Amino acid sequence: MAQKIGILTTGGDSPGINAALRAIGKAALSVEGTRLIGFQDGFAGMLNSMVVEMENPMFSGILTTGGTILGTNRDRPDHILINSKYENRTSDIIAAYRSHGLDGLVCLGGGDAQDSAGLLMREGLNVITVPVTIDNDIPHTDTSVGFNTALEVAAEAIDRLHSTAISHHRIIIVEIMGRESGWLTLGAGIAGGADVILIPEIPYHLEKISAAILARAAIGKRFSLIAVSEGAISVENVEFFENARRTNLRIRGSRDGADISARLDAIEKRAAGDTLHLANRLESFTGLQTRVTILGYLLRGGAPSAVDRVLATQLGTACAKFIQQGQYGVMVAPRGGGVETVPLDQVAGMVKTIPADHAWIHGARLVGTSLGD
């Protein structure tokens, strides 16, 4: 069945987006009469009619390239930056969908993509998503496009920092992306042999990290590698904000205190991941020189791994098949070695965090890695 399909990428970039675009495009255009139009720079491009007709020549040579040929940003339909202010432009996005005569819209990205697609689905639009994020934090998926590549980059960084940590007898802290979940940090820390791994799911005790490092020094290992998620938070900070919330509710009541509670949540997120502060305190506690390396956007760049290219192709071609079958309101999810559809209302607004009993956590503990608790 011939259809006119829109496609965009939204949220943070990730290795493998272009591979997924290629797979969707080639598979979709193999059906006679199908048209595919791309919106540049995410929902902002959809709002401003930044449109490109996507034909087969566009997909030549992009399987191995990083980034996204369509461009991306973090605007959402209800949160678009206009003249330095964020506005709800959902109605205009819906109007753009209608004006282009679309039969469906494909959104590629992480949590932002799932949230935006869920919103548009509830407004009656035909939307389908592909999970593309280095954070691996999308519910009901085994993994996401980009995670494997970022994992390899982070693990290699830890490998390379081992030599300078040993040479200078230092504590080296490697900050890795992951504000709400620690999949990337935990996996890279295990693969790189980090001595301490700190993730958002397990609040850490500074004293216990220091004790683990000093115990290593006592047996002649005068260096330590720490892999820390940008969203890792100390137990004392968690307790401080919990007490602040309780005090706020007791004094102001549930209704009046709601706004302040929301502000406390935002402040707590900013308090998490203060890696430089962690480094200074560890140096004071242990007496060992401490240095910080922040990998940041390095993890999103470069060519996707072979694993991510295969996954992107698998999900992209499956997405095209589901479009032809008229399956919308779903995310295309890698599960159990295959591909399934998951209703967007089971994904939007949710985060896949690491369960306390996960095998990776169990394995890290068994090889003597400190998780700060």
* DSSP code for 169: T
d(CA 171, CA 196): 10
pLDDT of residue 236: 84
Which residues pair with residue 334 across a beta bridge? 339
Block means of pLDDT (10 residues each) for the chain, 373 residues, are 93 96 97 96 95 96 96 94 91 97 98 97 98 97 98 96 91 95 98 97 95 94 94 85 64 58 58 79 92 94 97 98 97 96 97 97 97 96
pLDDT of residue 351: 97
pLDDT of residue 92: 97
pLDDT of residue 2: 81
Per-position DSSP letters for 58-97, written without gaps between them:
GGTT-TT--S-TT-----BTTBEEETTEEE--HHHHHHHH
**Which CB contacts under 8 angstroms, 24+ apart, belong to 332-337?**
332/128, 332/129, 332/130, 332/131, 333/131, 333/138, 333/140, 333/141, 333/142, 334/131, 334/141, 334/142, 334/143, 334/144, 335/140, 335/141, 335/142, 336/142
pLDDT of residue 271: 55
Which helix H or strand E contains 174, and what residues bound it? strand 171-176
d(CA 373, CA 364): 13
pLDDT of residue 304: 98
Spell out a b/e string for 76-107, using b for 16 or more CB atoms within 10 Å of the CB, else e: bbbbbeeeeeeeebbebbeebbeebebbbbbb
pLDDT of residue 270: 57
Domains parsed from the chain with CATH numbers: 4-145+304-346 (3.40.50.450), 149-300+356-366 (3.40.50.460)
Catalytic residue positions, numbered: 135
